[in-house]
C-alpha cells in the first residue's frame, strides 16, 4: 500500500513539475491533467477500504458495513469539473494559436509585450 501511495504521489509531483517547467502550452495542459488524475487516484486510494458492501437495497444485510457514497460522488464531480476546465484551456490555446505562430509561452509573451 505504501508503494502505491508513493507511485501516486510521484505522478502528482511529475504533473506539477511539468506544469512549471514545460514551455509549450499544450504540454502544460497535459501536465495539469496528469496532476489532476494523480490527485483523484490518491483520493480513491485513501477512501478505499476492504470489506465494505455497496449500499443497494436488494443486497441488504443486517450487520454489514456499507461504503459511503459521498466520496464516490465527489470524485465523479471532480472528474467532470477537470474535464470542463481542460476543455476551456484548450479553447484558450486554440485562440492563442490563431494569433501566434507558436505555442511556446516565452514566444507568446515576447509577441504580446508590444
Mean pLDDT, residues 94-106 taken together: 84
Task: Give the DSSP letter string of 31-99.
Answer: HHHHHHHHHHHHHHHHH--TTPBP--GGG--TT--B--HHHHHHHHHHHHHHHHHHHHHHHHHHHHHHH
Domains of the chain by residue range: 2-111
Position 29 confidence tier, pLDDT thresholds 50, 70, 90: very high
Over 80: is that where the pLDDT of 82 sits?
yes
For domain 2-111, give the CATH number.
Answer: 1.10.287.3510
This prediction has a pTM of 0.77
Predicted local distance difference test score (pLDDT) of residue 57: 63
| Bridge partner residues of 66 (DSSP) | 53
Helix (H), strand (E) at residue 108: helix 105-111
Amino acid at each position: 500500500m505504501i508503494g502505491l501511495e508513493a507511485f501516486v504521489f510521484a505522478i502528482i509531483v511529475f504533473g506539477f513539475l511539468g506544469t512549471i517547467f514545460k514551455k509549450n502550452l499544450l504540454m502544460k495542459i497535459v501536465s495539469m491533467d496528469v496532476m489532476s488524475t494523480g490527485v483523484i487516484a490518491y483520493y480513491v486510494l485513501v477512501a478505499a477500504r476492504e470489506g465494505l458492501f455497496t449500499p443497494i437495497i436488494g443486497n441488504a444485510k443486517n450487520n454489514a458495513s456499507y461504503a459511503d457514497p459521498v466520496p464516490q460522488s465527489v470524485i465523479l464531480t471532480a472528474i467532470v469539473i477537470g474535464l470542463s476546465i481542460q476543455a476551456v484551456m484548450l479553447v484558450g490555446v486554440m485562440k492563442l494559436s490563431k494569433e501566434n505562430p507558436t505555442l511556446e509561452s516565452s514566444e507568446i509573451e515576447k509577441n504580446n509585450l508590444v
